[in-house]
């Protein structure tokens, strides 16, 4: 037990936190030392003999690494405390994702309390694993950006998109994406039998994050049009991505581009040509499933699917953990 890495989870009773507990308990090199919850303090953490404790009672130095499944704003405070104490950080909130305090203020409406934390690498391993290896802190992506960026990455990396045409993302998420705290629009009677767009236009906070990472890969792409929807299901996220190709690429070559690019990525599955990715291809799994549909010679539909609590949050965090400590990247994930 003494050689295991001690991990504490803040927000362990939330949906992503619960999945993180379950996944980390499978890892042979992790010992869970605490899990915090303001609402469930005193209750047993499932599958353990530990009880949730209030966050103010956690002794951060008892851990070698902390996972922050907290709201934005709250995560930055704990991340700063942890790093000052020599404790590593995996942040599942937005507080380490954006590159500048100005961008954070634009999309989250708050002044970032510790702008120096914004130098943490973006925790999407399939795109950024070299920067994640051995780092002290990671800002794990949101579920919408993960699903969208993995769906776009091969075309972005080969600069195959028409820079004059928009990238259109029609995205749909299960209700757990809204968090565990009850809200009027996530009540059963509001969600059941319904499909609701929300934060349309350029209002959703993940727009800035997706654009930031797209533009790190290439500036040769058009503007992002992103519309999220609330699905009447518990979990799962689907991004239907519509793109226009430039003359360097034709739609009949896109599928082979994706299969070749992701051939060595064990947590990304490109479906056979003619198959359409569905939520069932990814829900309760740790991978992203992608299907490619040529529409015209220059237009393609990419369907990218993840479990919003797994590859969109907790399992991606564990994937980053493995890279940070030099373990096999998929350890405890497949």
Task: Just list the catalytic residues.
Answer: 143
| CA 158/CA 135 separation, integer angstroms | 28
If one counts every other C-beta atom within 10 angstroms of the C-beta of residue 196, the result is 14
- The phi and psi torsions of 281 (rounded to 5 degrees) equal -75, -15
Query: Is 7 in contact with 66 (CB distance < 8 Å)?
Result: yes
| CA 146/CA 36 separation, integer angstroms | 26
Instruction: Give residues with Cβ within 8 angstroms of 82, minimum separation 6.
Output: 60, 63, 66, 88, 89
| CA 272/CA 270 separation, integer angstroms | 7
- The phi and psi torsions of 244 (rounded to 5 degrees) equal -115, 130
Phi-psi region of 254 (alpha: psi -120 to 50; beta: other; left: phi over 0): alpha
Hey, what's the torsion of the CAs at 111, 112, 114, 118, to 10 degrees?
Answer: -140
**DSSP-assigned states of every residue in 128-166:** HHHHHTT-SEEEPPPHHHHHHHHHHHHHHHTT-B-TTS-
Query: Is 96 in contact with 137 (CB distance < 8 Å)?
Result: yes
CA 251 to each of CA 61, 134, 302, 307: distance values in angstroms, whole numbers, following the listed order: 53, 39, 11, 27
From the number of C-beta atoms within 10 Å of its C-beta (0-12, 13-18, 19+), residue 296 rates as exposed
């Amino acid at each position: 037990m003494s050689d295991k890495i001690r991990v504490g989870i803040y927000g362990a009773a939330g949906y992503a936190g619960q999945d993180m507990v379950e996944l980390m308990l499978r890892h042979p090199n992790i010992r869970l030392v605490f899990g915090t919850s303001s609402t469930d303090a005193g209750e047993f953490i499932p599958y353990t003999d530990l009880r949730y404790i209030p966050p103010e009672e956690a002794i951060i130095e008892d851990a070698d690494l902390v996972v922050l499944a907290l709201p934005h704003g709250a995560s930055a405070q704990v991340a700063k405390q942890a790093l000052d104490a020599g404790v590593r950080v995996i942040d599942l909130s937005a507080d380490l994702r954006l590159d500048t305090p100005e961008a954070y203020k634009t999309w989250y409406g708050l002044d970032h309390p510790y702008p120096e934390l914004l130098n943490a690498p973006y925790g999407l391993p399939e795109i950024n694993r070299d920067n994640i290896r051995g780092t002290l802190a990671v800002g794990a992506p949101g579920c919408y950006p993960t699903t969208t960026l993995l769906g776009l990455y091969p075309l972005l990396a080969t600069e195959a998109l028409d820079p004059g045409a928009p990238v259109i993302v029609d995205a749909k998420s299960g209700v757990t994406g809204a968090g565990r705290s009850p809200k009027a629009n996530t009540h059963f009677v509001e969600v059941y039998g319904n499909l609701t767009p929300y934060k349309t236009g350029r209002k959703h906070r993940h727009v800035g994050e997706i654009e930031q990472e797209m533009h790190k890969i290439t500036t040769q792409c058009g503007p992002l049009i992103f519309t999220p929807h609330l699905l009447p299901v518990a979990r799962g996220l689907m991004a239907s991505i519509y793109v226009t190709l430039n003359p360097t690429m034709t739609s009949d070559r896109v599928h082979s581009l994706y299969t070749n690019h992701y051939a060595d990525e064990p947590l990304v599955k490109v479906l056979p040509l003619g198959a359409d990715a569905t939520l069932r291809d990814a829900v309760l799994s740790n991978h992203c499933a992608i299907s490619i549909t040529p529409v015209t010679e220059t237009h393609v539909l990419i369907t990218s699917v993840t479990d919003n609590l797994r590859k969109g949050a907790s399992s991606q965090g564990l994937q980053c953990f493995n890279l940070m400590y030099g373990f096999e990247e998929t350890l405890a994930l497949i």
